[in-house]
Every structure is written in C-alpha cells, then in structure tokens.
Structure 1
C-alpha cells in the first residue's frame, strides 16, 4: 500500500550531508508517485547511489555497471553468468541459484543490456533483503571467476559423450546455447541487426549477448580482464527502493565493500562512457537473410522491413518524453498514422517488434517496421512511409488523439503495480547509464505541462518534430530481411567451420587435456557442497497468518458482485466473467479469436477508430480474454468463460460502463476488411512468439494429454490454437468465421451466466455500484447460475495409450516437456506435491539439465489443475532430458536430500504464495479461481507442515512406475530421431511449420 508522501520522507537527510561515506547530492519529492528521491555519491570511489523512499513493502536493490563491449564474444553476458557462480565470501557453486530457494524474493535476476549490466532483486522481508544484498555485492566485487565456471556458462570444447574420448568433440555452454536460441527467432535477429547498423560507430555495433559464431573466440583471460576493468565501484550505480531504512543500506555497502576501494577512474583511464553517434549525411540500406518461416500465414510474404532514424540524446529528458508521445501517435492503435497506411492496406501482416521509440541507447531511435512483407513491396513501404510523414506534417494530429495519449500517461501515474520499484529501475537504468538527470525524468507531470504549453504556443509543435527527426533526418537506415532456403545449412556450416578451426589447432595432448577438463567439470558439478555458508531465511520466519482482504458480496439484478474497498489511488477496477460452457464445440474453438477482436470491431454507434479513441480517453483500455479456471475441489472439472476487464479514474466511471454497455448491446461484426486485418495481426503475433515461449507451448501440449482443463487451454492458447489461427488467416473467405463472431456475441454477451468484481476507493461504493446497476439493467437475458462447471471424469480413458507430440519446427534448439496428472488444489497431497516440485527443480533438474546438459533452463511446476509439468528451455540435449524427467522419482526415493533442502523448497513455494498484490487486484484469487482467504490459509499451513515422508510418498504415487500410464510428453524443435528409441511412448510427429 502506498500512503502519502509525507509519511515516507527521510527528514534526517538533506543535501550536502555525509552519510556512511556518501554525500547527499540531491533530495527531491515526486508528488505524482508519492515518493522521495535521494541521489548520493560515495566520495572515496565515485560510486553513484539512488534511493527511492516510498511506502511500499516490496523493496528493491540493484547494483549495476556500464559495460561496453568491443566485440561480439558476449563478454558482458558471460561475465554476468560467471560472477554468480561463487564468490570470496560464498565460494559454493551457483550461490545465485541456491539463493532462489533460501529467500522470499519477489524477484531475483541479472541482465545484460547493450551497454550495461544490472543485478536486481526485490523482497518484502528485511532480513531477506540483507541476505540477498550480501550475496549480490560479493558476487560482483569479489567473484571467484573460476575457469570451470567460465567453461560451463560461456563455452567449451567437449566430447559429445564425455566418458568416451573417441566420441566427437562439439561446442557446449549455457550462454552459447542460449544465444543460438535467441537468434533462432527471426525477429530477434532483425532487431539485433537494426541496433548494430543504426549505431555502428561504437559499442552498439557488437552483440553484447554474444554471437554464437564469435563466442568461441572469448578467452578466460578476456573475462578476467573485463571484470577488472568494468566491475569497479568507480563504474558502479547502486539503487534501492521501498520503506526499508536508507542509512542501513549505505552502511552495509560502505563498510563491507566500498571502503576497501579508491576512485581509480583518473588513475588508470577507465573511461566507459559511450560517445554520441556521428550523424550520417545520407540514408543507408542494409539487407540480411534469415531462416524460412513455414508457419507464415502467407508464404509469399516472409520478409521484414524497417525504416529507422536516429533521434535525440537520451539525456534530453523533455525531448525524449515528447518523442515517446509522438511515437504513440504515429504507430500505436488503429488511429495512428502508420497503422492506417501500412497495416490496414495489408501490405504487411503486422508491425515488426522493433516498431516504436527506443531509449535503451545513448542516442534514441525511432523505427517503423513491418513484417509479413513481399520483397517486391519494399520500395512501396518506403514510399508510403515518406507520404505518411508528409501528410502528418500537413494535417497534424487530432486533438482527441493527443489527449488520449496524455490520459494514458495520467493513468500510468495513478495505477499501482506490485513491482513499481523494479519498473522504475528498468525505466531509469539506460538514462542513468549515460548520466542523465534521474529526478527530472521522474517528474512526469512537469513534462506533460511543458508539452501542453508548447502545443498552446505552437499548434504545430509535434509536426515540427516529425520534420526534424523523421522527414528531414539524413541519419536514416532502411533495413530489410528475407528468408534464405539455405540459411540453416549455411549457419550449420559456419558453426562447423568455427569448430573445425578450433579442432585443427589442437594437438593430441590438447585433446587429452580437454577430456580431463570435462571429467573435472563433471566432478565439480556432482560434488556435494556445504551451502551452510549462504545466508537463508527459514519457514519459521514467515508469518503464520495471512493478511485478510475484506470482501463484500452483493447481488444486483440477481447478478453476484464481489466488492473490494481498497486505497486504489483514485482508480476503479472492474471485471466480469461470462460462462461459455453452453457454446457448441465449434464456437468454443473460436472464443480466443472472439476475445481478440471483440473490443476492436466497433459498434453500431461508433466505428472501431472512434471506439478506440473513446476507450483511450476514458479508460486504461477495454480487455477481453479467454478464462479457464480449474476446480479446487474436484479433478477433471473446470470453469470456462470469458473475462472482460477495465479500469479508469474515478471521474470516468460512468463513461467506462457506457462503453461496456455499448459493446454488449450494439457490438458490430460486419466489417470484413477490419476483421481480416485483426485476424492477420493475431496470427502473426502468435507465430512469431513460438521460439521465445517454446517451453510454455511444449508444456501445454504435454498437459493436454492428461487433463481436460489443460486440453481446453491447449485449444485456446497452445500450438493447436496457433495452427487454427494460421488456418483461418489463410482462408480466402472469412465471412463464415465473422458470422460466428456475431453468434458468440449474441450467446454470451448477456447476464445469463455472469458474475462481476469491483475494486474501488473508500467512499465511492454507492456511485460506482449505481453505474454497475445501470450496466446490468441494460443487458439482455435472465440471471442464472453464474458459475457452471465443465466435467470430464473419464478423460484419461479417451487419451490412452500414452502419447507424446513432437512438434517439428525449424529452430536449432529444443523445448522438452512431460506432464503427469495428480490431484486438485484442496486435496491433502497438493501441498506436498508443490514442495516436491520445487525440491526436484533445484536439487535434481537444475544440476542435471542446466549445469551438465547445457540447457538454458529447466524445472518442474504444479499447475492449479493438478498437473505436474517437467520442462526444459533451449535444450541441446533433449533426448537425455526425457530420461532425466523419468528418473525424478528414483532420485526422491534415494532420500539423499537434507532437511535444509526441504526448508528451501518450501521457501521457494512461498515466494509465489506470499507475492505482493496491488490494491486493484486484491480479492482476485477468490473471484477468478475460487481460492478465498480461508482456502489460502489452509494451503499455507499445509505447506509449512510438509514432511520428508510426505514428499517420498507423493513422489512414488504420482511419479512412480504406476504413473507412466497417466503422463504425456511433448518436444518442440528440429527433427530428433532419438525419440524413436522411447518405445514406451507412442509419439505423434507434427510438422509444425508446414
């Protein structure tokens, strides 16, 4: 909860004051966000510190460095991984991953940007905060940087079978495989090339994450030198946020780390600053190749084009703010200029992901990108780009459109999220990295006021910026990308050439050393370590009772309404669920598409452009999504429906419900051209996300074999739905599908099976509920049972024999999954299974699949439907991974885990169970999933009571030999003949990209 600014102000801190080695440089209040900002400098080292004091329990800490690579070996990225593999104070392997289970962190990660590396975490527990701070700071300032960790995380030459010195030598490594996965996605390849080519003069011309063909050039010595150069306090930036005491943070940072260093910047010339890009005198063109995407909705339109211009320096706060507004006007939503000229005419299928205004680099970049383009239309796209800019300069922007964008900014200021502190850090990092004015950047209301004044004084203010930055800008790049049928072959050949070069330089003695290094690394990975040196919370440190959320249930016109009064900062949040169980099977398949288009087709009263503008002016958007909730009391039972939601400022409640009334009663499903555009956009977004979300798609496919709710989810959001959308998008006549959209609307947009929830400010209940009543009174139908269950108790029998799906896709990495059906949420075994899943993830799957196997990630999760989902992410060794999945019960039955391991597993579960919830989302567990405070309290108590014997018993029952008849498997990736060896399963091969 965020209270008034005065309650959170640090009255003892003033500018010029010295605190624990730091001097306070600036103290500012930011009223719009109810926070106080404190900028400090550590005088002995030059380390910068930003503290945000705010009455928020989800406290954040981060330490970051400006890291500017001068090659594409992935140095900063691999260093980020390796620093977290052990330090002077915590010399055990991977303290970062071990702390994931010794903490109540609401967020823990590290990330590498194009010119920075940051190490952030967040937690609500003060002792946890101190524990994590000590691990993070020791990791970055005193890492072990062992060569074996470099080889594990970065790259290494190793025998395919490390026990057989006669087996082929290949390239392995976590980051090496990760980046192969990243660049298996064409749009990631495009965005990387866009950055490299629009800013070619300095560090941005390189791949900070690492080019898989260049990563093997990195040496261990390079890694150590890079750390020595960049990971100095003089090059560091510390960030803290929340309601924990600032002085305590400063004392720890200074006493434990900074007091041991001196400012080395002037002495050794460490200058990590990034210069401004030298402006071009003429436009440049660049063409690249990519892998064919046979999932494309139109095989003739596989290409991508982007026109990018270099804009203002990131440190020009007002200019970057106004360019962000300008970007919204130009490329976001159906009323934007480029949407009208590039998307609606069907020249391309959708905007490319690079589209918009980017402020991650020293010089900001504006891009208009289009994917799904026929190469012969490249010139036309450039021509339309120029004509659109000419038209914008001539006609200007609609005043309501501008007001809609500014209203969205006001909503973002008011809207409270659970991760505000992290969001603020991510928003400020790039600016801070280039020494921009952070306080000025947070004063958003000032920026809005300046823009409004500029528009009053010069109505053409925004058009002038279009002329300056887009129309007359000679630093312009036209980047195009087209598929090459031989791309995969060429990539494989290039990788083989890299490997061949490495192997040619090896003597027989070198090969023997490699063999011994591999065995040594494996021994290190398998060594049992004493983790007692790591700090940890304990289950006894957790609160025993949850904080109750007061909810009131009322009936309005026989429709049940859940009311939650919270300090929502002048906002009203509305949600409703419409049951869809009575739809036909054919229409159920189309519900996700209906959700995608329901608020975007317009009404009998307003065109879709007008409706979007009204929603933008009065709400945070009107959202309709597919809803599937598992029964907490019964297996193979679930609720299926449509969730519609919106939020608004209290002053706009009447207008928000007027819009919903219009959509429900006057929705229009007749504009075929608009429908075709929406279908095309939706299909492209789904298809382009397969590589990035591969593990989710694999889990969905595997789970669909064992559970009816999971099967319904697969049909509505899995690869089955992706295939369905591809099929629809390729139809020559969509009139039948459009008619079905109208049928769904007529069937469900009423109050027959409806329930609602409202989260609102104290004192606004009567006014808001009056508008709810007006809305419900306008709806057709007669209120009936709001909560209908879909049941399929014999689901297993329909799916026998056990099957696995191999979704063959033209990507060079794999995503593996195995799913097992267990029990419902309120079953006595559910809590034991949840703890068991976390235990297996951290103590068995992580060392076997990531450390040894080289996959980027792996895990075992328990879904609310009672499905245990094993998974691996960007996995080079998936055939072995399935064997590891099968061995999980055997590992548990060996009973080699400790009581401490069980304790850590419980803590890992409580990270999710006790995650912070913002006021606008309080009570949603009950409304959406039927889990009220009583059930949650019972579940928490059960989790705390899970014993070793409980874990062993549920593992045997649900993962043992008898469970094999109730499991499903899935693999997403290239052809893998090894699957034929898994005789106990019947695999179905699905050529996904045909």
Structure 2
C-alpha cells in the first residue's frame, strides 16, 4: 500500500491535520483539510479491495415534513453535468458498484458507494459531487413533484389525489408502532424543541411539505465546508485527492472562514420527568392485548463522547438477562421482552429502556424495576462473570469487523454520525481507547458512576405507545377530507389548470432519458476467483468440512443435525424446542449462567432449518443447522456448552415453559410483521424450492397459532403440559442422537486440525438412537398467485423465476433482466405507479431471479406489469453501450466481495448442497458476453420462466381484496390464518 503523508504535509490542496490507527480494521487513518473549499476528508487505509466513498452533510431536522429526506432523493436525481430522469438509478443499474445509496438520519445525510474498481469509484464520485454542486431540481420543479409530493387531477370533476415517492414511503410506516414510539418518546424528552423532530413523518405533516422548504434546506446545508468525505480501502489515494481537487474542490470558494463551521447546537432540554401515553395508528381488527411499547428514556446530551461510549457498553450489560435490572423485573412479575440501548438515532443521545408486547398498566412497575437494578449496580456493580463475558463478546465483535459487507459504507456512517455532532473524525480511535479503559476497570467504577447518574437524571420520560385500531382508517379518511376540501376550494380555472399540470407532469415523467458517462469497460472486469480450498473428511457418521482462513484467534462454525428421525407431525414442536433453549435450567447450569455462557462462547448463534434439494445426494434430508462464531481457544468449551443446552434442558418445568411462551408468543405473529418484503420473498421461494417450503412450514403463521394453542392448553390441563414435556424430551433425543452429523469450521490453519479433532471427539460421544421409519415429508401444494393480508398500509410484491434446472439459461441473459427493471419496471411502478421502489435481482447459486415492488399502493397494475416483464424485454430500446452498463451491474451483483470466514463457509455449504461453484463461475463469466443479438432469446426465455413462476403480495387487506381476482388464494394472517 502507498505510504501515507506526514502531519502538516499538503497534497493537492489537502493538508494533513491528524494521523491515527483503527486496529479492528487493520487500518491507518489520515484526516485532511482542504482550505480552499472548507471540506474535511478522512482516508481509512487497509487492504480491503472493496473500496468505499461517502460524502456526509450536517442536516438537522428543522421540522417533521421529512424535507431532508425529500432533498436526499432530489440531490441524486439529476445535475447539469449528468442530466437524467434519475441519475441515481442510472448509476445503480449500470455500474460496477457493490453498494450505493442516499441515507437521511436525524443529524446528517450521507451518500455512500462501494465498488471493487478504483476507476469506477472515481467516475461515480464525479457524478455524486456534480449532483451536490448543481442539482437539477433547483431548475426543474418536476423532480420535487415526483420525489416529494404533488396533487394530481385527471378531470375538472375530480377526484383530487396526493402522490409522491417519499410520501408513499412514509405512509407505508403509518402503523409502525416502534417508529411511532420513538417519535412519542422524543416529544416527551424534548417538548417543543427541534431535537424532537424525527425523519420519516411526512405522512402526518404533508400539508406543510413544500418545494420552497426543500430549496431552503439545500442552500442551508449543502456546501463543502459543511461536509465530511470518507475514503476507505486499498486505493491510490493520491490520485483520488488529485481528482477531488482538480475537478471539484478547487472551483469552490468559501465566503466565510471554513474552520468556523461547527456542529448544529440544539437548545438545552427542559429538566424534569415527564409521562406520556399515546396512540399508534392501527387498522380495525388489530390485536391490542400485549401490544404496547413502554419506553423509559434518559437524556444524555450533557455527556462527552467518551462517556457515550461507556453508556453504550453499560447498556449492553443492562440488556443482558443476567443483569440486576432483568432480575428485579422478573421478581416483580414482568414477563416481557425488554431491552436497554444507547439511542443515537435521536438528534440528542439518550439511554433508553424499552418493554415490548406489554400493557400501559405496566408503566410504573417497569420504571421501578429499572430503578432497583440501577441502585444495585451503583452499590455493587454486576457479577464479574457477566462483566467479563460482555468484554469478551465485544472483543470478538471487534475481531470480526472485517467480516461485514460494505465496510466502506458502515464504517463511514458511524464516523459521519459522530462528526455531525462533534466536528471530529476520530470515533474509532476514541472507541478503542474507551473500551480498553472500560476493560481494565476491575473495580467497575465506571458503570457504578453511570448507574448513579441514571438514578438522578436531569431530563427523563416514561412513555407508553398503544395500538389504536381504527386510527389508521381515521388518518386515511382525514387525508381524503383534506383532498376533498382542497378540491372544493379550487376555482374552475384552477381545476382546469391543475388537470393540465397533471397531464404535463405525466408526460415529463414518462420520458426516458438518462446518462451513462460514468461507465467503465466490461473488458476490465476480473474473472471470478476459484473456490477457496477446503477439506472434507469422514469420521464414522460425522462429515467434517474444514477451511483454513487468514484470520487470527477467531473461527466460524456450523453443525447440521439430521431431523429425519422426527415425524412430520411433530415438526411444529421444533419451534418450541428452539424457543426454550437457554430458557430452562439444565443439570449443570442455571438460566442466568446459560445466558452468560452463550454471550461468551456462542457469538451470533443462530438456528435454521433446511432441506437440501435432491442435488445434494446423500445429504438431501431435513436438517437443523446451528452456526456461531467464537474464539478458537474457546471452541471446546463452546461446543460442550451448546450440546448441554440442546440436550439437557429441564422440560418438566412447566411453569417456566408457560412464562416463556407468554413472553415471546407475540413475536411469532407474522400479521404484525415489520418486514412484509421478507415474508413475500420466502413464500414465493416456497413455490419453487422444497428447502424453502420446509423452512416456511416451521416458521409460518400456523406455528404462531400452534404455540398459542399449546400455551392455552398447558395453562388449563396439567396432563397436556406433561405430554408436551415428554414430546420435547423425545425431540431433543432425536436431534442429538440422529445420524449422520455434519460439522463445518473455518479458522486459522494453525488451529484447524485441533478444532476438528475436538469436534469429532465430542460429537462422537453422542449416542445413536434406534432408527425409526417415517413416511417422507410431504408439503401441501402452494398456489402460484398468493396474497397475504397483514397489518400494513401498502404492499410488498415478489415474483420469482426459476432457472436452476434450465440448461438453456445463460448468464448473458441477466443484464437484460436488469435492463427490464430499469427501463420498464421502475418507470411503470415507481415513477408512474407511486411505489417507493421496484426492480429485479437474481441469485445464481440459488438458481432464480426476482421482480419486486416496495411500499406499493397498487396491486393489480403491478401484477400486470410483472406478468409482461419478459415480453417487454423484446421491445426495449437498447444500445450496446447501455447493455454494457447492465453487464457491469449484473457482474457486481454476482461477484460478491470475499470475506475471510464467510466466503469459506459459503463454499463448503455449496458443496454440501450439491451446488457446483465452477458452474456458478461459468455463468458469472458469461454475463460479460451479453450482446444485443441475445435480446430476443433472453426475452423469450425470461418470459417463459416467469409464466411458470410464483407471485406473492403481502399487505393491506382492503387493497388486496379490491383486486381479489388477481390471486388463486388470499390468506388473512390476522384472523386465525383463514383463507378469504
């Protein structure tokens, strides 16, 4: 890597102001100041080949019209140098970028991008910066009308409607009770202050949102002296600085001293304790029992940044089930999911305690439990075992930082938030210093001090947020009344003019123009790398996969248990079995001890079910996998602990089982889902993949009602409770004693052999159970066109196309799919249909592609557009240069950045599933060969595949039932899982 400049050295107008190191990234840092423009720049240098760029502006929320969010959309719509209908989507769909976005927060707005090509990085940076300097929306109001808000009128007789991309996105969060709880808590902590203004609230303040507000926000915030640029990865930074200086920053002259640019200062909060009970919009029929959120929040705006890091670490301790707070809450009979965290998403920092799935009547006892827990910590601290386990978990998290995707984005976001409120860039240096200090505080004086402060806060609030069925409809009707009143107030002349303006806007919005001056040549794309080396060995009934990785001290592990010994009728109990892990005592450990040991030994431990397709051969049987990270020195202890928990739980403790079900049952209710997109995707995938049908069966809404029924019967029938206990014991034995077993590990080559030996030795001690014979699992057929009604204001739709067994399908067809998304789906569904977004993506290892729409107010028109997507490809006006752009994008989607542990685990899992990485690489390589002469065959192939594929819509009942003829089946998840 290139040598970094010294302190005080100037390079292309940038003067070095600070040097540093971020150990968890294996990185050195250089902070620069560009005196001519006032811009600050931080370069984070390490050997990561996925390069990152981010430009971040301070953008405090002056109100709740979501103006900054609208502005974020407008900035990357078009500019003088790169004129386009939407230059962001031009870049996103036609570049070799691995990540790209615009992100609005409550204190800042950022524009990150990542790519594995420096040439692509520079070209995209030029577009980003040109948009910051001269966005086209300042001259063309139609961009605001599209992205923000507009009236539409088709006829002088009405009706008047309200449209806009950001408005649609925000309206989709109407019933998001957690988001509403955050807003109510901010209002209680900071009444009548700007610090209470949160983003994403345009659906409640659309009357005040205006073009002039957005223009004012741009001129107030978007200048180089109010920005931070972050560069990340193994790049030629001198060339980047030269580009920035010559092409952008040297043309900017600041009127004021750029060093005077300081973070925005909020007014000092009003002191005192405030209580608030508020209603969150919900639709009629929404359950209200065990549905409230209670927040107790403490303002921390007087804390230093170092203290905030301590508060963050303290919150992790508080959040643990073994903390004094959780103990007192349980002793008081509070049996709810609770969490404690440092909330930095608010404009001012706060320590927040949250209770979910509760009742308003719990407010006082919830607050009392917090007080008791804090008093104990103030006097005695926490148990040394909990303290050390938390520190170890943090060290492991730090050691695994490089495993995350798009680090140039995530790291710069953390630094950007910190810079927006401090003007500094040394967040990670401060974090590492503070963490070391916290770790060496053996007397726990820091957390005792923090507990004392939390017991006597200057400003705090206790807030309950309750779902209010019918309030969502009331707000929808209020919007209709507003539109009716506005329409009635318009003169005939104004109505006629608005009809013409609507027609004119639609004509402008239907135009297809863009820019591709940022493309690199597809010939420069790298070949897919060969799969990482791994070994596969057999030890009796145990299959071991091991892969050496260039890491030190940490490993990634996975166990796969055979579920075949379990009858299909008993599979529903698997969810209860997994739910109870670490919730019941074992012969060796109490529940509190298990929670602490899990934190220490089983980092990010997850359970999953999968049923490999027939291509897996001998491994094509139902399995349950357990995956985790851990320190390699702790592997043996971690494995022993895992097996103890899986096989040693006390299932005779029926009262505790009932308590656990009462606590967690609401989280199994998919009708309350906050991720309808994932639900639509998994259901659609279930139509084409046995593995997904199997997983869906074990994580469906039926499981919620199954657990609900078990809870009811266990409460009323002791004999039934005992039968459930026996069923769980039998299930546990079947899982642990079933063979064969599969073990996977990726770790340093120096320790890998020892890890395999330890695994074989311990797993070999599991006693094989007598083989039982059951009929093969069968799954009820799923309808091709399905809709699910949930608690939502809009729709999420997914259509899948399966090409796994289609030997005629080629990688070169995928760029045409992305062209269809960019030139057909997005214009029809987003620009003209009012959805937040729409597009297409693909998954070569899984063998399918997907069409999708998000926060979509429509149903029928979207389905109609999807159904014709393949045919639309045939008539797309395409040049080879445009196709080159889609080749770049397809290649970026297909060729994921390599991660030391994650990539190796991925290759081993492919081998287990019978997926040939060489075939995948051949399809990826073929993407580069797409030519215009392939267009008609791609259209025919994709259309034929889509006609056989599934489509699933998840969303609002009224919208779905209005178009019920579009579906083969409609299921209401809110009403005892009934078909409509």
TM-score under structure 2 length normalisation: 0.91
Q: Residue 235 of structure 2 aligns to a residue in which SS?
A: coil
Does structure 1 conserve the Cα–Cα contact (< 8 Å) formed by 2:784 and 2:949? no
Query: By how many angstroms is 1:717 displaced?
Result: 3.6
Which residue does 1:310 correspond to in 2? 299
Does structure 1 conserve the Cα–Cα contact (< 8 Å) formed by 2:57 and 2:110? yes
Take 2:550 and 2:908, find their aligned partners in 1: how far apart are those partners? 19
Structure 1 residues 418-817: aligned runs within 5 Å: 418-419=404-405, 420-435=407-422, 437-439=424-426, 441-456=428-443, 459-468=444-453, 470-532=454-516, 534-630=517-613, 640-687=622-669, 690-705=672-687, 707-721=689-703, 724=706, 732-733=714-715, 735=721, 736-750=723-737, 752-781=739-768, 799=781, 804-817=785-798
Which residue does 2:823 correspond to in 1? 843
Does structure 1 conserve the Cα–Cα contact (< 8 Å) formed by 2:233 and 2:408? yes
Q: Residue 748 of structure 1 aligns to a residue in which SS?
A: helix
Q: Residue 469 of structure 2 aligns to a residue in which SS?
A: coil
Query: By how many angstroms is 1:270 displaced?
Result: 9.5
Query: By how many angstroms is 1:117 displaced?
Result: 0.2
Which residue does 1:250 correspond to in 2? 241
Q: Residue 742 of structure 1 aligns to a residue in which SS?
A: helix
Take 1:713 and 1:737, find their aligned partners in 2: how far apart are those partners? 22
Does structure 2 conserve the Cα–Cα contact (< 8 Å) formed by 1:854 and 1:876? yes
Task: Tell me: CA distance 1:702–1:618, structure 2 relative to 1, closer, same or farther (3 Å).
Answer: closer
Query: By how many angstroms is 1:226 displaced?
Result: 1.4
Which residue does 2:84 correspond to in 1? 92
2:399 maps to which of 400, 404, 414? 414
Does structure 2 conserve the Cα–Cα contact (< 8 Å) formed by 1:46 and 1:234? yes
Which residue does 1:884 correspond to in 2? 865
Query: By how many angstroms is 1:100 displaced?
Result: 1.4
Task: Tell me: CA distance 1:764–1:704, structure 2 relative to 1, closer, same or farther (3 Å).
Answer: closer
Any unmatched runs of 5+ in structure 1? 1-7
- Give per-residue Cα distances to partners, 1:640-676, cap 9 Å, x unaligned: 3211122222322232232234335534434334434
Take 1:874 and 1:483, find their aligned partners in 2: how far apart are those partners? 21
Does structure 1 conserve the Cα–Cα contact (< 8 Å) formed by 2:72 and 2:102? yes
Deviates more, 1:176-185 or 1:214-223: 214-223
TM-score under structure 1 length normalisation: 0.89
Does structure 2 conserve the Cα–Cα contact (< 8 Å) formed by 1:349 and 1:684? no
Does structure 2 conserve the Cα–Cα contact (< 8 Å) formed by 1:706 and 1:968? no
Which residue does 1:59 correspond to in 2? 51
Q: Residue 24 of structure 1 aligns to a residue in which SS?
A: strand
Take 1:175 and 1:731, find their aligned partners in 2: how far apart are those partners? 47
1:943 partnered with 2:960: no
Task: Tell me: CA distance 1:603–1:264, structure 2 relative to 1, closer, same or farther (3 Å).
Answer: farther
Take 1:969 and 1:139, find their aligned partners in 2: how far apart are those partners? 37
2:216 maps to which of 225, 233, 241? 225
Which residue does 1:128 correspond to in 2? 120
Take 1:904 and 1:185, find their aligned partners in 2: how far apart are those partners? 37
Does structure 1 conserve the Cα–Cα contact (< 8 Å) formed by 2:746 and 2:752? no
1:203 partnered with 2:203: no
Deviates more, 1:370-379 or 1:269-278: 269-278
Which residue does 2:22 correspond to in 1? 30
Query: By how many angstroms is 1:892 displaced?
Result: 2.2
Task: Tell me: CA distance 1:622–1:803, structure 2 relative to 1, closer, same or farther (3 Å).
Answer: closer
Task: Tell me: CA distance 1:869–1:223, structure 2 relative to 1, closer, same or farther (3 Å).
Answer: same
Aligned residues: 961
Does structure 2 conserve the Cα–Cα contact (< 8 Å) formed by 1:199 and 1:277? no
Which residue does 1:216 correspond to in 2? 207
Query: By how many angstroms is 1:295 displaced?
Result: 8.5
Query: By how many angstroms is 1:207 displaced?
Result: 3.0
Take 2:342 and 2:282, find their aligned partners in 1: how far apart are those partners? 28
Does structure 2 conserve the Cα–Cα contact (< 8 Å) formed by 1:552 and 1:563? yes
Take 2:669 and 2:503, find their aligned partners in 1: how far apart are those partners? 41
Does structure 1 conserve the Cα–Cα contact (< 8 Å) formed by 2:563 and 2:738? no
Query: By how many angstroms is 1:872 displaced?
Result: 1.8
Take 1:328 and 1:689, find their aligned partners in 2: how far apart are those partners? 30
- Give per-residue Cα distances to partners, 1:46-89, cap 9 Å, x unaligned: 21111111111111100010011322111100000011111111
1:47 partnered with 2:47: no
Task: Tell me: CA distance 1:628–1:141, structure 2 relative to 1, closer, same or farther (3 Å).
Answer: farther
Does structure 2 conserve the Cα–Cα contact (< 8 Å) formed by 1:595 and 1:642? no
1:278 maps to which of 268, 283, 291? 268
Task: Tell me: CA distance 1:661–1:982, structure 2 relative to 1, closer, same or farther (3 Å).
Answer: closer
Which residue does 1:171 correspond to in 2? 162
Does structure 1 conserve the Cα–Cα contact (< 8 Å) formed by 2:144 and 2:211? yes
Which residue does 1:3 correspond to in 2? none
1:860 partnered with 2:849: no
Take 2:205 and 2:910, find their aligned partners in 1: how far apart are those partners? 48
Does structure 2 conserve the Cα–Cα contact (< 8 Å) formed by 1:32 and 1:443? no
Deviates more, 1:228-237 or 1:744-753: 744-753
Aligned CA-pair RMSD: 3.3
Task: Tell me: CA distance 1:971–1:373, structure 2 relative to 1, closer, same or farther (3 Å).
Answer: closer
Structure 1 residues 171-190: aligned runs within 5 Å: 171-190=162-181
Task: Tell me: CA distance 1:946–1:790, structure 2 relative to 1, closer, same or farther (3 Å).
Answer: farther
Which residue does 1:366 correspond to in 2? 351
Task: Tell me: CA distance 1:86–1:925, structure 2 relative to 1, closer, same or farther (3 Å).
Answer: same
Deviates more, 1:811-820 or 1:719-728: 719-728
Does structure 1 conserve the Cα–Cα contact (< 8 Å) formed by 2:83 and 2:514? no
1:301 maps to which of 284, 290, 298? 290
* Divergent runs of 4+, >6 A: 269-272, 293-296, 782-785, 788-792
Structure 1 residues 97-176: aligned runs within 5 Å: 97-145=89-137, 146-159=140-153, 162=154, 164-176=155-167
Deviates more, 1:53-62 or 1:535-544: 535-544
Query: By how many angstroms is 1:638 displaced?
Result: 6.3
Task: Tell me: CA distance 1:136–1:607, structure 2 relative to 1, closer, same or farther (3 Å).
Answer: same
Query: By how many angstroms is 1:678 displaced?
Result: 4.1
Take 2:571 and 2:159, find their aligned partners in 1: how far apart are those partners? 51
Query: By how many angstroms is 1:852 displaced?
Result: 0.8
Does structure 2 conserve the Cα–Cα contact (< 8 Å) formed by 1:62 and 1:238? yes
Task: Tell me: CA distance 1:926–1:451, structure 2 relative to 1, closer, same or farther (3 Å).
Answer: closer
Which residue does 1:349 correspond to in 2? 336
Task: Tell me: CA distance 1:445–1:705, structure 2 relative to 1, closer, same or farther (3 Å).
Answer: closer
Any unmatched runs of 5+ in structure 2? none
Task: Tell me: CA distance 1:397–1:277, structure 2 relative to 1, closer, same or farther (3 Å).
Answer: farther
- Give per-residue Cα distances to partners, 1:428-466, cap 9 Å, x unaligned: 22211112543264354422332244444xx44422211
1:917 partnered with 2:898: yes
Query: By how many angstroms is 1:206 displaced?
Result: 1.8
Does structure 1 conserve the Cα–Cα contact (< 8 Å) formed by 2:55 and 2:228? yes
Take 1:426 and 1:344, find their aligned partners in 2: how far apart are those partners? 40
- Give per-residue Cα distances to partners, 1:249-278, cap 9 Å, x unaligned: 2222222222121223459x9977332552
Q: Residue 122 of structure 1 aligns to a residue in which SS?
A: strand
1:393 partnered with 2:378: yes
Q: Residue 89 of structure 1 aligns to a residue in which SS?
A: coil
Task: Tell me: CA distance 1:957–1:583, structure 2 relative to 1, closer, same or farther (3 Å).
Answer: farther
Query: By how many angstroms is 1:890 displaced?
Result: 3.0
Does structure 1 conserve the Cα–Cα contact (< 8 Å) formed by 2:651 and 2:728? yes
